Structure 1
Amino acid sequence: MAHIDYFFTTLSPYSYLAGLRLEEVAQKHGATITYKPFDLITAFGRTGGTPPMQRHVSRQEWRVQEIVRQARKLGMPLNIKPAHWPTNAALSGYAIIAAQNAGGGDLGALVHSFLRACWAEDRDIAQDDVIRDCLEKAGFAPSLADEGLLTGAETYAANLEEAVSRGVFGAPFYITDTDQRFWGQDRIGDLDLHLAGKL
């Protein structure tokens, strides 16, 4: 059975634009997914990247145009200037880690719920009530927002180290069990072809 390690941050517009297509591809091929939220801003500094707000204005302008174009192409609602961006992504990451450890709900829906809250609903994903609401709507106990915080923090930090050591430099980033790496929501189709043995 194929496996995909999915590295992302709940603040990434491109992770938001991925929607649930990764989950659809995984289901199609009988692949499993491990969700690995990590600190992308720190990873930028360690892998030669630059955080969006520190990039040259030409890159910032292109990024805005590209995100808007991709959202329109995908038919997804988007606020290009979210009310709560950037915010602390760690707490939503901890909740995802706790939910993954607990099981019983829909992890893909949970991840997308946080991303949608940020990029389409102007909600602050660092707030306890938002985290609890996303957990509950994805079929998890809202109390997971309070449980396993130490484990969540340790795993979140370990995910960063693993990401850097495995060549992750952006989000979303997908790595198969054969170490094939796919960066960006626009490469999910290539991941699909790879899992089908066509690429």
Structure 2
Amino acid sequence: MTAIDFYFSTLSPYTYLAGNRLEELAARHGAQIIYKPLDIMALFPRTGGTPPKDRHPARQEYRLIELERQAKKLGMPMKLQPAHWPTNAAPSSYAIIAAQKEGDGGMGALVQSVLRACWAEEKDIAEDTVIKECLTAAGFDPSLADSGLLVGAETYGQNLEDAVSAGVFGAPFYVTADGGRFWGQDRLDDLDRYLSEQ
């Protein structure tokens, strides 16, 4: 079974726009997804990127145009400037890490629930109640939000180091076991083709 390292941020609008397409793709190819949430704001300066708030106004404006365009194309509801963005991504990331370790629910559904809470429902994904709602909706024990915080913090930090080592510089980013790299929700078709050719 091939594996796909899925590097993402729970703050990433483009990860939200990926929806469940990665999970569908992995099911078709019999691939395992390893969910690796990371601190995107720490990744940017280490890999030559710039946080959205520090980009040139023309880039900031175009980012909103592109997000609206992609959301419309995909038929996904989206608040371009959600009330609670940016927020602290660590709590939701720790919960995802704990859930993956637990392994009893739907990981894709959990990640999508957290992203939807931020980008469509304007909820603060740093809040404990929101994280617990997302865990429950995906079939996990909501108490996972309160457990494994030390392991979560260590894994979250290690995911960042792994990302830098793997040549990851944005989110979402997909890295196959043989080193194939694909950046962006609009590259999932390319990842699909790549796996078909292996």
Assess same fold via TM > 0.5: yes
Report SS of the residue matched to 1:182.
Answer: strand
> Aligned partners of 2:50 and 2:16: how far apart in 1?
20
Q: CA deviation at 1:5?
A: 0.2
Matches within 5 A, 1:1-199: 1-197=1-197
How far is the alpha carbon of 1:18 from its aligned partner? 0.2
- In the TM superposition, residue 162 of structure 1 has moved relative to its aligned partner by 0.7
> TM-score, length-normalised on structure 2?
0.99
1-structure distance, mates of 2:170, 2:10: 12
**How far, CA to CA, are the matches of 2:81 and 2:3 in structure 1?**
35
AA at the equivalent of 1:22:
L
Q: Which runs of 5 or more residues in structure 1 are unaligned?
A: none
4+ runs deviating over 3 angstroms: none
User: Distance in 1 between the 2:53 and 2:112 partners?
Assistant: 23
Count matched residues.
198
Cα offset, 1:85, TM superposition: 0.1
2:89 aligned partner, one-letter code? A
The 3-state SS of whatever aligns with 1:33 is: strand
RMSD: 0.7
* Distance in structure 1 (CA, Å) of the matches to 2:181 and 2:107: 21
**How far did residue 71 of structure 1 move?**
0.2
In the alignment, structure 2 segments of 5+ residues that lack a partner are: none
Distance 1:138 1:107 in 2: 7
Q: Percent identity?
A: 66
Amino acid at match of 2:179: D
Normalising by the residue count of structure 1, what TM-score does the alignment of the two structures yield? 0.99
Give per-residue Cα distances to partners, 1:90-118, cap 9 Å, x unaligned: 11000000000001100000000000000
